[in-house]
Amino acid sequence: MKEGKLFENLPEFVKAAKSLRAEKIRFKAEKKIIDRLDEFEVLDGLRVLGADGSQISPLKEFGIPIGGVQSAGITVHHGKGEFEVKYLSKIVFDQYLELERFRLEIEIIKRNLESVDFAFYDGSLSALYSSELSERLSMQYRKEIEELVRLSEKYQTPVIGYADRSYMKDLGLRIYDSYILSDFLDINEYLPAIGTSSPLIAMYVKVNPSLPVRVEIPEWCEDMQDEIARVIMAECRFGSTKGYPYILERAHRYAKISESEKKAFLRAVKSSGISFKYISKVIE
């Protein structure tokens, strides 16, 4: 703590920033090159699943503390021109909205693990082990993740959590892993798996000139890292931005609740004659 305004202590900020940059420059580790970069060859014949979700927030303006969530899972059979989309949905109370959306996204993966070769989840799973959640909520998230990992191993289907912008610090330094690795990794290179605070391990893959993406896979997949890195790179090359997997782009499009659907939902609520007395009893 120093006396004076923050601006007057600006030199301290500059000193700290230089110290952090020095850590980044000194970082050394093994890294690997991703070979076989023909995306058509890598993905040909594979059945790949992508899952995502969306939600309608609680209708507070109508005094209704409930919203809706849905998840979509799309399976693409590469090289065959075939795909299949499945949905799950649920009406939930506002305090459980995020959890129920997460459950639906995980559930749609679990239901299809036996029939696909790879499954992509949009986001970080291990982050939920370090989030500042209540113990009750944390246990529910962990239960879902641990069941997903168990089924992944049972069916020998890798589950890939894909976080295109990560702020995790599993490398043990004071700055975020992705920033440490931004200059360390070149395109088509990845940092082999490191441990996390969850039953998953994390890889960092440089898919384009931006920051490396964080990829989380179950521990049993450790010997499949090269294959998984190739599949990720191939999916990203098919994607419109070259930095986000094609399968997740499609999952996002299907999972999204359209504006017309939201308006229809509101019209239905307005005309439904909902009993607010009933709602208050349910909340109690």
Give residue 18's pLDDT: 76
Q: Which two tokens stand for residue 165?
A: 């912008």
Which residues, 6 or more positions from 74, have their beta carbon under 8 angstroms from its beta carbon? Answer: 49, 50, 83, 84, 85, 86, 247, 250, 251, 254
Split into its structural domains, the chain has a count of 1
Residue 213 in this model has a pLDDT that exceeds 90: yes
| 24 domain-assigned | no
Q: Which two tokens stand for residue 276?
A: 């607010």
The SS3 call for residue 167 is: coil
- pLDDT greater at residue 59 or residue 225: 225
| 143 domain-assigned | yes
In angstroms, the CA 186 to CA 100 distance is 38
Sign of CA dihedral 192, 196, 201, 204: negative
Residue 216 in this model has a pLDDT that exceeds 60: yes
Question: Model confidence over 105-116: pLDDT tens digits?
Answer: 999 999 999 999
Question: Model confidence over 56-97: pLDDT tens digits?
Answer: 876 665 666 777 899 999 999 999 989 999 999 988 877 788
Strand order in the sheet with 32-33: 32-33, 189-195, 200-205, 213-218, 159-163, 118-122, 47-56, 66-77, 82-93
Neighbouring-strand partners of residue 90? 69
| 13 domain-assigned | no
Nearest to 231 by CA among 85, 107, 94, 116: 116
Q: Which two tokens stand for residue 44?
A: 């040909």
Question: Model confidence over 128-179: pLDDT tens digits?
Answer: 887 777 888 889 999 999 999 999 999 999 999 999 989 899 998 888 999 9
Residue 99 in this model has a pLDDT that exceeds 70: yes
Residue 47 in this model has a pLDDT that exceeds 80: yes
Give residue 274's pLDDT: 53
In angstroms, the CA 179 to CA 177 distance is 5
Highest mean pLDDT among 11-25, 128-142, 193-207: 193-207
Q: What are the percentages of helix, strand and coil residues in the chain, rounded to 5? A: 45, 25, 30
Give residue 273's pLDDT: 55
Q: What is the distance of C-alpha 102 from the center of its chain?
A: 10
- Over residues 194-201, mean pLDDT: 93
pTM here is 0.86
| 222 domain-assigned | yes
Domain that holds residue 216: 29-283
| 145 domain-assigned | yes
Say which CATH number the domain at 73 has: 3.30.2170
Q: What is the distance of C-alpha 227 from the center of its chain?
A: 20
Residue 212 in this model has a pLDDT that exceeds 50: yes
| 70 domain-assigned | yes
| 255 domain-assigned | yes
In angstroms, the CA 64 to CA 279 distance is 8
| 191 domain-assigned | yes
